[in-house]
A and B are shown apart, each in its own frame.
Chain A
Amino acid sequence: MNPAIEIRRLRKSYGAKKALHDITITVGEGSCFGLLGPNGAGKSTTMKILAGLLEYDAEDAIVLGEDIRRSGDRIKAKVGYVPQSITLYEKLSALDNLIYFGEMYGVRGGELKRRIREVLEQVGLADRSKDPVASFSGGMKRRINIAAALLHRPKLIIMDEPTVGIDPQSRNHIFEMIRRLKQEGVTVLYSTHYMEEVEALCDHLAIIDHGKVIAQGGLNEVLDRFGSQAVYLELSEGHRPPALPGFGEPAAQGRGWLLETPKPLDALAGWASACKERSLPVIRLEVVRPSLETVFLALTGTTLRDT
Chain B
Amino acid sequence: MWNIARKEWKLLLKEKGAFFWLLALPIAFIVLFGTIFDSAGGSSLKLSYIDLDRTDASRAFIQAVADAGGYKMVEADEAALEDKIQRIRDGKETALLVIPKAFGQEIASAEGGQTAVTVYRDAADAAAVGPLLAILDNLANGYRDSRVKSALQATGLSGPQQEQVLAAPFRIDDRPENALHNNGITQYVPGYTVMFVFFVIISMIRRFIGDKESGMIARMRSTTIKPISYLAGIWLAYLAVALVQCAVLLSFGHWAYGMQLGDVAAVALLVFALALCGTGIGLALSMLVRSENQGVAFTQLITMGGAVLGGLWFPIDLMPSTMQTIGHFTPQFWAQKAFQDILVRGMHTGDILASLLVLAAVALAGLALALFRFKAFMRTATG
A129 to chain B, nearest CB (A): 15
Q: Is the CB of B221 within 8 A of A53?
A: yes
User: Is there a chain B Cβ closer than 8 Å to A77's Cβ?
Assistant: yes
Q: Which residues of B contact A103 (CB under 8 A)?
A: 3
Any B CB within 8 A of the CB of A92: yes
On chain A, the residues within 8 Å of B223 by CB distance are 76, 101, 104-105
- Contact of B224 with A48 in the complex, beta carbons under 8 Å: no
- Is A48 a contact of B382 with CB atoms below 8 Å? yes
Q: Mark A103-146, 1 if CB is under 8 A from B, else 0.
A: 11110000000000000000000000000100000000000000
Contacts of B3 in A (CB 8 A): 100, 103-104
Name the contact of A51 in the complex, choosing from B7, B15, B222, B225 (C-beta under 8 A). Answer: B222
**Set of chain A residues within 8 Å of B382, measured between Cβ atoms:** 48, 53-54
| Interface membership of B11, Cβ < 8 A | yes
Specify which chain A residues have a CB less than 8 angstroms from the CB of B225 in the assembled complex. Answer: 104
Rounded to whole angstroms, the CA-CA distance of A101 and B3 in the bound complex is 9
Say yes or no for B14: interface residue by CB 8 A criterion. Answer: yes
Q: Which residue of B lies closest to A102 (CB)?
A: B3
Instruction: Verify B7–A83 contact, CB threshold 8 A.
Output: no
- Give the 6 A-B residue pairs with the shortest CB-CB distance, closest first: A81-B222, A104-B223, A103-B3, A85-B215, A51-B222, A91-B14
Which chain B residues numbered 210 to 250 have a C-beta less than 8 Å away from chain A?
214-216, 218-225
B10 contacts A by Cβ under 8 Å: yes
CB distance from B213 to the nearest CB of A (A): 9
Question: Could you say which residues of chain B place their CB within 8 Å of the CB of A91?
Answer: 11, 14-15
Within 1-23 of B, Cβ neighbours of A (below 8 Å) are at 3, 7, 10-11, 14-15
Compute how far the CA of A81 lies from the CA of B220 in the bound complex, rounded to whole angstroms.
Answer: 10
Contacts of A105 in B (CB 8 A): 223-224
Question: Known pairs A87-B219, A89-B7, A105-B223. 15 more at Cβ < 8 A?
Answer: A14-B383, A52-B221, A53-B221, A53-B222, A54-B382, A84-B215, A85-B214, A91-B15, A92-B7, A92-B14, A100-B7, A101-B223, A104-B225, A106-B224, A132-B14
Give the contacting residue for A104; candidates B11, B218, B220; CB below 8 A: B220
Q: Which residue of B lies closest to A106 (CB)?
A: B224
Which has the most chain B C-beta neighbours within 10 Å: A73, A92, A103? Answer: A103
When distances are taken between beta carbons in the complex, the residues of chain B under 8 Å from A188 are none
Chain B residues proximal to chain A, CB less than 8 Å: 3, 7, 10-11, 14-15, 214-216, 218-225, 382-383
With a CB–CB cut-off of 8 A, which chain B residues contact A132? 14
Tell whether A79 is near chain B: CB-to-CB under 8 Å. Answer: yes
**A53 in contact with B218 (CB, 8 Å):** yes
CB distance from A188 to the nearest CB of B (A): 15
Instruction: Give chain A nearest CB distance to B233 CB in angstroms.
Output: 11
A52 to B222, CA, bound (A): 6
Q: Please name all residues of chain B whose beta carbon is closer than 8 Å to the beta carbon of A83 when the two chains form the complex.
A: 215, 218-219, 222
Residues of chain A with a CB closer than 8 A to B383's CB:
14, 54
> A79 to B221, alpha carbons, bound, how many Å?
12
9 A–B contacts, CB within 8 A, in A order: A48-B382, A73-B224, A79-B222, A83-B215, A83-B218, A87-B215, A92-B11, A101-B223, A132-B14
Does A96 touch B at the CB level, under 8 Å? yes
B286 to chain A, nearest CB (A): 18
Taking CB atoms, residues of chain B closer than 8 Å to A89 are 7, 11, 216
Q: Give which listed residue, A52, A54, A92, A106, contacts B10 with CB less than 8 A.
A: A92
Q: Which of B14, B215, B218, B222 has the most CB of A within 10 A?
A: B222
B-side contacts of A104, CB under 8 Å = 3, 220, 223-225
- What is the CB-to-nearest-CB distance from A162 to chain B, in angstroms, rounded to a whole number? 13
Residues of A within 8 A of B222 (CB): 51-53, 76, 79, 81, 83
B59 CB to closest chain A CB (Å) equals: 64
Q: Which listed residue (A14, A48, A92, A106) contacts B218, Cβ 8 A?
A: A48
Q: Does the CB pair A87–B214 fall under 8 Å?
A: yes
Determine the distance from Cα of A83 to Cα of B217 in the docked complex, in whole angstroms: 11
Determine the distance from Cα of A14 to Cα of B382 in the docked complex, in whole angstroms: 13
Bound Cα distance A53, B218 (Å): 7
Across the interface, do B219 and A96 meet the contact criterion of CB distance under 8 Å? no
Which of chain B's residues have a CB closer than 8 A to the CB of A48? 218, 382
| Cβ of A291 to closest chain B Cβ, rounded Å | 32
- Greatest chain B CB density within 10 A among A81, A100, A105 is at A100
The chain A residue sitting closest to B15, CB to CB, is A91
In the assembled complex, the CB of A84 is this many whole angstroms from the nearest CB of chain B, namely 8
Interface-centre pick from A79, A89, A105 (highest chain B CB count, 10 A): A89
- From residue B27, how far is it (CB to closest CB) to chain A in Å? 24
Alpha-carbon gap, A87 to B216, bound state (A):
5
Closest to A108 in B: B3
A260 to chain B, nearest CB (A): 43
CB distance from B310 to the nearest CB of A (A): 34
Q: Is the CB of B10 within 8 A of A77?
A: no
Q: Which residues of A contact B11 (CB under 8 A)?
A: 89, 91-92
CB distance from A191 to the nearest CB of B (A): 15
